[in-house]
Structure 1
């Protein structure tokens, strides 16, 4: 399926072409860790779009007007509007649609998101959810390209002296993970154990209310579980939004993850640390329809500076396996 403009995320890929987040996920997939199936629309696709649609002069003109005193928000909006109104080149469209067809084509639910080349890029992380047609995927890719010219991103590049015509924006397209019907959280290695945080619904749960687990690998793995309050959860609301709703009594009383889930997450955490040769933090999600665990993002771990007090935990269970 791989082409100049669409690259499958299932092994080693060029981060300069697919973005740092997508490249990390692809590398983990190559290590046997489960990530959502998908592909990247490459930096070359972005460059071809800018050339074919003659957006370079539009960018240069709007930047000159900003430097001459025009409001930054207005100048940036002018560029984004030109991106959204332009048509993608046929060669780029064909490659994207072929890659989407390889995922299942129309009626296959996917998420489309920006994939900056470096984690330091000050680009709004636009995300388009529940897309089910090739036309929707194409439109979302064009809007992700346009997000490279948000006011903050333009202002930062101006301050740092970066050429606006040399930056690029890859895009990631992946199957939707229905963690709104399941659960999500984080996993990270800390010395001799893996710390897992979990809650129902979407996003990164707060330590104050999430389930907290410690998994100590070894011949006789030990799992320590602390049940959190989990009073609310975040679910999808429309194509791009989310909303927070109360959890059910059963969700509040139960534990989010099984022992098998925890052992799998701990194994993935160890593999990721070894692969990247540094401590990493995994963001994971569990699909409420398939029951499948997947890693949706990996990033360098930030040292923990806060210890959760035992008195704030609502339950404790220690199991030896």
Structure 2
């Protein structure tokens, strides 16, 4: 179901613009259109955020806190006041009903989902709020409200101030997706380089540390060449009650085994090449392997950036960010 407030994340329809569903969600729907497997889910739109702010009469609270900050109040205090007002505001009944209905399409109460911020504007792309293992519609609605509130964390407010942005016009979208059980599976990244695709992999959740993970180079072709380097994989990240994560030691068998098979590496390499072609620039894929089903998914895609380099000219060092 696609409505003003909820849009499905799939490849069956034309991708919704980032202005409607946020950058992260828009990229994922683009991948789905290319046949790349992404977790089933939906976006809560920028229009939903505006409805929440309007119905909760949050505009005056935002404006007052920003005026006080500009008059000398500490930014941390001002941002906290706005987030508190967001947390206290009720989610409109119509919006709640649409989020609940979309969650029911994923399976309803008892279905594990992850809720993430999907910022619309580059200045607001500092939100890393992720709510994992939510299992009721009420929890999903509450997490969406917390994602809306994260538009006013200290870094986001500071960024908009520095860029001359209008806090009252800022908006936040949200993605809700079925959980990939990478805690009992694996996860990592894949990115295309000049003549090959570099894949990093480790057991458990999240982007693995460079020095700890398995490293692979997949050289595409009719008979792909795969170069493998087994990492130490001494620890892995798993879910910890109630909704956090923790690092635990891996088993001997996990340390000795390679995380990915040749078929899985070829699949990731194909997806990486398709993503680069779709976005017309090098991209980094974040992937996860469900340990229960053995299925690979792409859970996020972002432009490939490499650390800044320093160029020295006539005694001056200039840091230049590199895009690759």
TM-score in terms of structure 1 length: 0.92
CA contact (8 A) 1:284 1:293 kept: yes
Correspondence for 1:117: 120
Q: What does residue 2 of structure 1 align with? A: 2
Q: Give yes or no for the alignment of 1:256 onto 2:259.
A: yes
Q: Gapped runs of 5+ residues in structure 2?
A: 310-324
1:70-219 to structure 2, matched below 5 A, reads 70-219=73-222
Distance apart, 1:21 and its partner CA: 1.0
Alignment: residue pair count = 306
Checking the alignment, whether the CA contact within 8 Å between 1:193 and 1:214 is kept in structure 2 is yes
Structure 1's 305 and 194: CA in aligned 2 closer, same or farther, altered over 3 A? Answer: farther
- Paired with 1:305 and 1:72, the residues of 2 have a C-alpha distance of 29
Note if 1:296 corresponds to 2:299.
yes
Q: Distance in 2 between matches of 1:67 and 1:2?
A: 40
Q: CA deviation at 1:207?
A: 2.2
Residues 216 and 223, structure 1, Cα contact 8 Å, conserved in 2? yes
**In 2: Cα distance, 1:60 partner to 1:266 partner:** 48
**1:21–1:297 contact (8 Å) kept in structure 2:** yes
DSSP 3-state at the match of 1:273: helix
Q: Is the 8 A contact 1:122 1:152 kept in 2?
A: no
* Shift in Å, 1:156: 2.1
In the alignment, what sits opposite 1:53? 56
**C-alpha contact 2:124 2:159 (8 A) present in aligned 1:** no
Indicate conservation of the 8 Å contact 2:239/2:246, yes or no: yes
1-structure distance, mates of 2:50, 2:163: 22
- Counterpart check, 1:65 vs 2:68: yes
Q: CA RMSD in A?
A: 1.5
Cα distance in 2 between the residues matched to 1:49 and 1:69: 29
2:16 is aligned with 1:13 = yes
Structure 1 SS opposite 2:52: helix
- CA distance in 1 between counterparts of 2:175 and 2:125 reads 17
Secondary structure of 2:297 counterpart: strand
1:209 and 1:231 in contact (8 A); partners too: yes
Task: Measure, in 2, the Cα distance between the counterparts of 1:120 and 1:281.
Answer: 20
Q: Compared with structure 1, are the counterparts of its residues 305 and 230 closer, same or farther at alpha carbon in structure 2 (3 Å cutoff)? A: farther
Deviations 1:185-233 (Å, cap 9, x if unpaired)?
0111112211111001111112212111111111111111111111111
Which of 21, 26, 42 is equivalent to 1:39?
42
Q: Is the 8 A contact 1:128 1:239 kept in 2?
A: no
CA offsets 1:259-315 (integer angstroms, 9 cap, x no match): 111111011011111111111111100011111100011111125899xxxxxxxxx
Task: Give the structure 1 partner of residue 235 of structure 2.
Answer: 232
Report the alpha carbon displacement of residue 123 of structure 1 after superposing the two structures with TM.
3.4
With 64-73 and 116-125 compared, the bigger mean Cα shift is at 116-125
Give structure 1 regions of 4+ aligned residues with deviation exceeding 6 angstroms.
Answer: none
Contact kept? 2:282, 2:304, Cα under 8 Å: yes
Cα deviations by residue, 1:53-96 (Å, 9 ceiling, x for unpaired): 10001111111122222222111111111111111111211111
Cα shift at 1:119: 4.3
In structure 2, the CA distance between the partners of 1:239 and 1:170, relative to structure 1 (3 Å rule), is: farther
Question: What is the TM-score with the length of structure 2 in the denominator?
Answer: 0.91
